[in-house]
């Protein structure tokens, strides 16, 4: 809960200073999600989104290792703070990304190892994963055609074996 308080500093009967400190609520922990790509191109970057509940003087930042790479804030407290991050394939040497929500009184972070959400190290590209259902379907279709063909051939062979012989006499 945010609240304000007037502070007076007295010396004897005189007010020396009057100020209004802003007291902030602790920030919430940011949440990191992977944004789904519409492309099956394996060279497309991994797209991540960090979100946190907005509040007075809240900022949201992405860090790569110990270096801040982006920051955002929004004075509209009715909307959550969101900050995107694109991880390119050449970023594979950097494994740790941290999203930090902060205000003057607190900060919270969520860390991410890119192998958790971005499969750059798995050896299986987005393209090959998207082809797998199509390959399985095609294989099933080929097996169905082979099965039907074999059934027809066996049925024809069976019928030829049962044909009555014409005995002209």
In the chain, where the domains are located: 23-116
CA distance 94 to 69: 13
pLDDT digits (tens, 9 = 90+) for 70-96: 999 999 999 999 999 988 765 556 678
Q: For tokens 């750059």, what's the residue?
A: 120
Mean predicted confidence (pLDDT) in 1-7: 50
Residue 124 has pLDDT above 50, yes or no: no
Residue 126 has pLDDT above 70, yes or no: no
- Facing residues of 4 across strands? 22
CA distance 137 to 33: 30
Q: Which of 14-23, 77-86, 130-139 has the highest mean pLDDT?
A: 77-86
Q: Which of 46-55, 111-120, 121-130 has the highest mean pLDDT?
A: 46-55
**Judging by DSSP bridges, how do beta strands 59-64 and 22-23 pair with one another?**
unpaired
Answer whether 73's CB lies under 8 Å from 58's CB. yes
**pLDDT in the model for residue 153:** 81
Higher pLDDT, 7 or 25: 25
**pLDDT in the model for residue 17:** 62
Average pLDDT, the chain: 76
**pLDDT in the model for residue 81:** 95
**156 band by pLDDT with thresholds 50, 70 and 90:** confident
Domain 23-116 is of which CATH architecture? Sandwich (2.60)
Q: Confirm whether pTM is higher than 0.85.
A: no
Residue 98 has pLDDT above 90, yes or no: yes
Vertex 132 angle, CA 32 and 86, to 5°: 25
């Amino acid at each position: 809960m945010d609240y304000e308080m007037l502070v007076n500093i007295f010396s004897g009967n005189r007010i020396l200073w009057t100020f209004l400190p802003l007291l902030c609520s602790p920030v919430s922990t940011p949440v990191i999600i992977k944004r789904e790509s519409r492309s099956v191109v394996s060279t497309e970057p991994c797209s991540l989104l960090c979100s946190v509940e907005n509040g007075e003087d809240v900022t949201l930042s992405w860090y790569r290792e110990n270096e801040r790479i982006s920051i955002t804030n929004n004075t509209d407290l009715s909307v959550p703070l969101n900050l995107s991050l694109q991880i390119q394939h050449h970023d594979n040497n950097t494994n740790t990304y941290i999203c930090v929500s902060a205000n003057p009184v607190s900060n919270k972070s969520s860390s991410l190892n890119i192998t958790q959400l971005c499969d750059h190290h798995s050896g299986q590209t987005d393209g090959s994963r998207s082809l797998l259902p199509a390959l399985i379907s095609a294989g099933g279709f080929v097996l169905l055609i082979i099965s039907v063909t074999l059934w027809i051939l066996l049925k024809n062979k069976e019928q030829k074996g049962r044909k009555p012989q014409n005995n002209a006499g």
